[in-house]
Structures are given as C-alpha cells and as structure tokens.
Amino acid sequence: MLITGNIITAAEAHAWRLVSRVVPSDDVLNVSLDFASRASLSAER
C-alpha cells in the first residue's frame, strides 16, 4: 500500500489483520474515547 498507493476498505484492513476492530462511523468517537480512557489507565506514571 505504501508503494502502490492503493486504498483498501476497513473490511479489507480487518481481514488482512492490519486493524483489530472496525466500528460504524457513528461510533468512532465513543469507541476512540473509551480506548483512550483505558489506555491512560495503564500508562506509566
């Protein structure tokens, strides 16, 4: 993809295991905020 510039769909990225999760566009903000919240709990202090 870096060499060819080809664009793939979210479903293709998921099938190729480039991403671990695909969510509907209406849920992206809430899922992202939840992920950030959980990640911050395990951050080094």
* Secondary structure letter of residue 44 according to DSSP: -
pLDDT of 42? 84
pTM (2 d.p.): 0.65
pLDDT of 45? 63
Q: Which two tokens stand for residue 35?
A: 């992920």
Q: How far apart are CA 1 and CA 7, in angstroms?
A: 7
Q: Which two tokens stand for residue 7?
A: 């664009």
**SS3 helix, strand, coil % of the chain, rounded to 5?**
50, 0, 50
pLDDT of 2? 77
| pLDDT tens-digit readout, 1-45 | 779 999 999 999 999 999 999 999 999 999 999 999 999 988 776
Domain boundaries, the chain: 10-41
